[in-house]
Structure 1
Amino acid sequence: MKILIMLFFLALSNYSFSQQVADTTYHPKIYDPLYETGKGPVVFIDEGHHNFHTKNGRYKAFANLLERDGYKVKAYQGNFDKQLLSEGNILVISNALNEINVNNWDLPNPSAFSESEIEVVTEWVRSGGSLFLIADHMPMAGAASDLALEFGFEFTNGFVFDTINRGPAYFNLKEKTLTKSVITKGRSSEESVAQIVTFTGQAFKIPDDATPVLTFDKKFVNMLPNKAWVFDDTTTRFNVEGWSQGAFKNYGKGRVVVFGEAAMFSAQLAGENKRKMGMNNEVAPENYQLLLNIIHWLDNVME
């Protein structure tokens, strides 16, 4: 059994991190575009912190979807700066890394952001900015944990797995693992979502003033290895029933959305067989609508 479990993890690792390219053919239907093309607010996608997902890279489908909804999507280069951030309305940070972990996914996993940058982002949100923080499993969770904690979210820098059904994790309204909220309802019945799928990632605790989107049930365990994707009998593990993989809250005059899995908002082709991973996967047809709903809430279109 132990050998089978290890083989599963190795297969999942290869699936997740084999050569990945953006699926440029992915163009899902937008029922009611919010803005005319190029007339919407500016959405920054962070590219200044060794990000695994970037505007024209693994998050090209993410950026394309928002641009089709009318937003002006721009890459954010360099350190977070008060003046530069003031030129945008929504900041997306996906899978940032500290420089020491770019090619080495062992512990330690220090912050991707300096203390002064964290202060700048926190004050920008408090003053009315909107932050979409996405941090996957180790080492990305560790790299974003200090920033997340400023808003009350506690990351654990691990990997979360379904102990019964191997593969993607399913969250739905029927089992109450997907929470009915302004974000899952959208602006109309066409925009409502009933089931969301994620691809590994991390589990985290949310503050009392946050609303969960994705909540783990008793099937899920969190594993905290010393090296990414390497698990053995000494690896710390514990049940994460009631923990979250997505949540949102108001913060001062601004808004924050936090998710613990990044591929769910991408559309990628992985490996030699060009396997679909992310919003373009047939098991995740509603993920793109959740992304649009999140951006609309961060844009203060939905209360």
Structure 2
Amino acid sequence: MQNPKVTLLLLVAVAYTTLASAQQVADTLFNPEIVRPAYAKAQGPAVLIDEAHSNFHTVKGRFKPFARVLEKDGYVVGGFSQPFTNEGLTAAKILVIANALHPDNGENWSLPTPSAFTDAEIEALNAWVKKGGALFLIADHMPFPGAAEKLAASFGFRFLNGFAMKKKAGKDLFTPGKGLMTNALTNGRDKTEKIASLQTFTGQAFEIPQNATPVVVLSSDYEIKLPQTAWEFEKNTQVVSAENLVQGAYMKYGAGRVVVFGEAAMFTAQLQRGKNKMGMNAPSASQNAQFLLNTIHWLDGIIK
């Protein structure tokens, strides 16, 4: 017979997951103007968004605003609903993986958090990027870092399966000199695309390989909480410093390119509890949409 306490904990975990899913929906009214599209309508490369790994964000779901921004920039955006293979990946110029999960964690955001990807898929992804593919890997707060940990490690990144949180209340706003680095992704194609402010929405933080360039670097104002179940922080929850950990970075990998971020909401537009704007639609995140475009342009090779 199953331990009643364990059963109760599982029910609580499922309830938290269901509540989180219900509270966050795509803001379908978000429709920013793209002043200088990279391509004419539907004339750009294919950007495929992973939908084969119990993803919390999908092209017709919570990442619909993400897709809309890229489509207005001329890209052809679609879902990718098959396991990663050498042959299948040839369909994409840019592959986006946003908040993948192992099926066991689909409705249970508690430890353990097995890999969402098989070893064969990870090997195929590495080979595809080395040959010139462009990967945009996004893994938000726990349990998503656990699900993507092996994939990230194959490129040299070390995920922490927790929550990157400010010690004191306040928005996660980053500016030059205060966590936001100056580089190709923040400079854009010219001065009109330069990012002066970028907002994230909790997420995780990670360590990067030596050849990666950081975009957002956390200070001692942040800490990483490592709970057993998402959003359940107790007195004995492990906490480590987030100082000098990174929430976004990019690098070249063989003939290809990789961008890794530890937060997903910043790249879409959502409504929380039906009214609170979270993501590119938030007034305090007015440059997030341009940063998304800069990121895709770098992955595409438009930005060198």
Pick aligned residue for 1:240 from 239, 242, 258:
242
Does the 8 A contact of 1:13 with 1:229 survive in 2? Answer: no
Residues 1:159 and 2:163 aligned together: yes
Query: Gaps (5+ residues) in structure 1?
Result: 1-11
What is the aligned-residue identity percentage? 49
Supply the distance in 2 between the matched residues of 1:85 and 1:74 (Cα, whole angstroms): 13
Change (3 A) 1:113 1:268: same
Give 1:29 shift: 2.4
Supply the distance in 2 between the matched residues of 1:196 and 1:13 (Cα, whole angstroms): 27
Does the 8 A contact of 1:15 with 1:270 survive in 2? Answer: no
Supply the distance in 2 between the matched residues of 1:301 and 1:83 (Cα, whole angstroms): 25
Change (3 A) 1:13 1:220: farther
| 1:21-32 → structure 2 map (5 Å cutoff) | 21-32=25-36
Q: Deviation digits for residues 215-273 of structure 1, max 9, x if unmatched?
A: 0011000011111111112111011111100000000000000000001111011214x
* Secondary structure class of the residue paired with 1:82: coil
**Which amino acid in structure 1 is aligned with residue 284 of structure 2?**
V
Query: Is the deviation greater in 249-258 or in 262-271?
Result: 262-271
Give 1:18 shift: 4.4
Cα RMSD (Å): 1.5
How many equivalent pairs are there? 289
* Secondary structure class of the residue paired with 1:242: coil
**Which amino acid in structure 2 is aligned with residue 219 of structure 1?**
D
Supply the distance in 1 between the matched residues of 2:249 and 2:115 (Cα, whole angstroms): 21
**Which amino acid in structure 1 is aligned with residue 117 of structure 2?**
F
Pick aligned residue for 2:173 from 170, 174, 180:
170
Query: Is the deviation greater in 133-142 or in 79-88?
Result: 79-88
Give 1:174 shift: 3.6
Change (3 A) 1:284 1:14: farther
Q: Provide the TM-score with structure 1 as the length reference.
A: 0.93
Q: Deviation digits for residues 61-100 of structure 1, max 9, x if unmatched?
A: 0001000000000100121121111011000000000000
Aligned structure 1 segments of 4 or more residues deviating by more than 6 angstroms: 12-15
Does the 8 A contact of 2:17 with 2:109 survive in 1? Answer: no
Pick aligned residue for 2:39 from 26, 30, 35:
35
Aligned to 1:250: 252
| 1:63-74 → structure 2 map (5 Å cutoff) | 63-74=67-78
Supply the distance in 1 between the matched residues of 2:203 and 2:24 (Cα, whole angstroms): 17
Give 1:275 shift: 1.2
Does the 8 A contact of 2:174 with 2:199 survive in 1? Answer: yes
Aligned to 2:270: 268
Q: Deviation digits for residues 9-60 of structure 1, max 9, x if unmatched?
A: xxx9999654222112212222210000010000010000000000010000
Supply the distance in 1 between the matched residues of 2:199 and 2:215 (Cα, whole angstroms): 12
* Secondary structure class of the residue paired with 2:180: coil
* Secondary structure class of the residue paired with 2:293: helix
**Which amino acid in structure 1 is aligned with residue 253 of structure 2?**
Y
Supply the distance in 2 between the matched residues of 1:58 and 1:110 (Cα, whole angstroms): 23
Change (3 A) 1:13 1:101: closer
Aligned to 1:4: none
| 1:8-87 → structure 2 map (5 Å cutoff) | 17-87=21-91
Supply the distance in 2 between the matched residues of 1:288 and 1:16 (Cα, whole angstroms): 24
Residues 1:229 and 2:231 aligned together: yes
